Structure 1
Amino acid sequence: MLTFTDKGIYCAAGDFYIDPWKPVPRAVITHAHSDHARWGNQHYLCTKDSVPFLRLRLGKEISVQGLAYGEEIYLNGVTVSFHPAGHMIGSAQVKVTYKGQTWVASGDYKVENDGISGAFEPQKCHVFITESTFGLPIYHWKPQASIFSDIRNWMNENEQAGKNSVLVAYSLGKAQRLLYNLQHHVSRFLVHGAIFNAHEVCLQNGWPLPPVELITPETPKENYKGSLIIAPPSAADSAWMKRFNPYSLGVCSGWMQVRGNARRSNVDAGFPISDHADWRGLLDTIKQTGAEKIFVTHGFTSVLARYLQENGLPAEEVKTAYGSEEEETTT
């Protein structure tokens, strides 16, 4: 029902693409990260919660339609619906049903409910297209409550040492997760402009996030003390960071699970918190779908596909253009 083309995942019967990486007439979008939602498509279909983020990233003039989770739409006789993926606000798995066959394209997903992104809901299907960003057995996430406790302890240590606390987190998705879960433990948040813009969109659309302050050249240095400063990865090695001296730099990323990554990244602390499923999360999800065939995209595709094959489940790795943005920005 779905095929993998040089433009993206294509449904010929419905004449639409899922997360295309080249411009197409109709794009069905799993979430608003720019490796999945690209500029140039004639029309976009996504969840209602993703609409404002697509407009933020791609421009207010785009043609976009939003659906509620579970709401069905019919495209040339093909039934399409969105179901929570837990990756970020508005993220979804795309369920496609035609002539008794159901395929699900997961996009990016995580199985732990972070409180703000919506709880992941596995979907029964015949064929499941899964990501594998962290598709190695070494990736096993601690509960997020434990990670947030580590962040609070790190902030306390920094304050006692007279250092400002700067956390690196992706501006759309990870930053909102941090703000939502740390709001009752942090007295003041100061943020980079990229995070501030996404935050304003969240507030305008009713998401329960705490107040933040935009960092500008006029921000008094005394405001940094005791605050949590959140910046996107692109700012980590820039001159913009010098204003916070002396500071301790922490990175929130699943890649921090591997010992030594923080040192090689020249950061002071690494917090292995990811918006993707870990190894067990991937395997549990695949089992819960009941799928008869698995396609594995972006990440450790060969490892996961081979493991599934060795355990009696037909699986095939597929090359796509997903994941490049997140690899570059260490999310």
Structure 2
Amino acid sequence: MKLLEFTDKGIYCEAGDFYIDPWKPVKRAIITHAHSDHAKWGNESYLCEHATVPLLKLRLGNDIKVQGVAFNEPIFINGVEVSLHPAGHMIGAAQIKVTYRGEIWVVSGDYKLENDGLSIPFEPVQCHTFITESTFGLPIYQWEPQEQIFSKIFQWISNNKQDEKASVLLAYSLGKAQRLLYQLQDKVDRFLVHGAIAIPHATLLEEGYPLPPVERITPDTPKADFKNAVVIAPPSAEDHVWLRKMQPYSLGVCSGWMQVRGNMRRRNADAGFALSDHADWQGLLQAVKATKAEQVYVTHGFSNAFARYLTESGIQAFAVNTEYGDEEMIANPES
């Protein structure tokens, strides 16, 4: 019996009788982070890192049964030791370490190695078996340091102001949007945001995160407010009539998929910024190496290619099918 198994409901620990990020309702779920492909409605109970609790309640309802635990705080479930460790993907994002009878498995969820200033930075955890994502598991995906990316974003905003255009940035509403707000707050006086961003933003402000105030866009927002404004909206707003009121505007997409120029053209964007909350190729390799795992299972993304590379590099690796995805997905050939 493997310590963790891939089932039709999710990643299952038979010894502890719990699931990690299940995609179908189960009795006991341990959640890596609050994105919708990892945290589903309908489980009888949830366990997650403390910072994820209010985000889960926001998404799934205040009536869910949820327990928060601190990073690096071991708990026991039916004799199986479980601890959560920082993943750096977004606020509250955790890797799940499962230990039983001397065997250690780690489920990464989603992760990135660069410190974004808001989430607790990624912490490598040594284990026998590592379950890793591979959203950007190809050598073409190599991120610039975020300081350079944000410098380019601010320069783009400045150019738009000179042209008397609003700067509309598309970014995933939970995680990426807050990262933009946090990093740009010292350079931008005023942010207008879509309701999908304003709602989690308010929750995080209540929790004490150092984020700037924002103004929620409503049907009553005057057209004059958008002149030279910085607007942050989710990708779903891209082709919506919602944007017409902001004309003239320049559209920028913040996503790791912008590393490939053709994706920017397909999005009809004026600018693309390869800003991702997932590890790039080198980050994935660095993370796997740091675990010293003897065996690796590769989930969503370029799983076949990444598993093959690891195997050829001397690490036993297997691609597995799951229902996890990418919140900033545009085009992934393996999806």
Normalising by the smaller structure, the TM-score range is over 0.9
Q: Which of 133, 155, 172 is the aligned partner of 1:131?
A: 133
Within 5 Å, give how 1:91-110 maps onto structure 2. 91-110=93-112
Aligned to 1:49: 51
Tell me how far 1:193 sits from its aligned partner.
0.3
Distance in 2 separating the partners of 1:198 and 1:128? 31
Contact 2:165 2:229 in 1 (8 A): no
Distance 1:217 1:329, change over 3 A: farther
Of 226, 241, 244, the residue aligned with 2:243 is: 241
Conservation of the 8 A alpha-carbon contact between 1:234 and 1:329: no
Q: How does 1:184-263 map to 2 (within 5 A)?
A: 184-263=186-265
Paired amino acid for 1:228? V
- 3-state SS of 1:260 partner: helix
- Counterpart CA distance in 2 for 1:45 and 1:236 is 35
**Matched AA of 1:309:** T
TM-score by length of 2: 0.97
Amino acid at match of 1:236: E
- 8 A Cα contact 2:172 2:327, kept in partner: no
Aligned to 1:75: 77
User: Which aligned runs of 4 or more in structure 1 are off by greater than 6 angstroms?
Assistant: none
Q: Which residue of 2 aligns with 1:282?
A: 284
Alignment partner, residue 294 of structure 1: 296
For residue 91 of structure 2, what is the aligned residue in structure 1?
A: 89
| Alignment check: 8 A CA contact 1:233 1:329 kept | no
Residue number in structure 2 paired with 1:322: 324
The letter for the 2-side match of 1:31 is: H
Q: Distance in 2 between matches of 1:296 and 1:217?
A: 44
Question: Residue 328 of structure 1: CA displacement?
Answer: 6.0
Counterpart residue type for residue 53 of structure 1? L
Q: Distance in 2 between matches of 1:324 and 1:231?
A: 17
**TM superposition shift of 1:142:** 0.2
Matched, 1:169 2:171: yes
Which deviates the most, 213-222 or 306-315?
A: 213-222
Deviations 1:77-130 (A, max 9, x none): 001111000000000000000001110000000000000011110101010000
Please list every run of 5 or more consecutive structure 2 residues that lacks an aligned counterpart in the other structure.
none
Structure-2 change in CA distance of 1:40 and 1:329 (3 Å) = farther
The reply on whether 1:38 has 2:40 as its aligned counterpart is yes
What secondary structure does 1:128 align onto? strand
1:22 to 21, 24, 35: 24
Quote the residue 1:61 is aligned against: 63
CA positional deviation for 1:217: 1.8
How far apart, in 2, do the equivalents of 1:286 and 1:324 lie?
A: 20
Contact 2:48/2:66, CA 8 A, preserved across alignment? yes
Say what the alpha-carbon RMSD is for the aligned residues.
1.2
Contact 1:190-1:229 at 8 Å conserved across structures: yes
What amino acid is the match of 2:324?
Y
Distance across 2 between alignment mates of 1:312 and 1:267: 41
**Aligned partners of 1:237, 1:52: CA distance in 2, in Å?**
31
Worse overlay, 319-328 or 190-199:
319-328
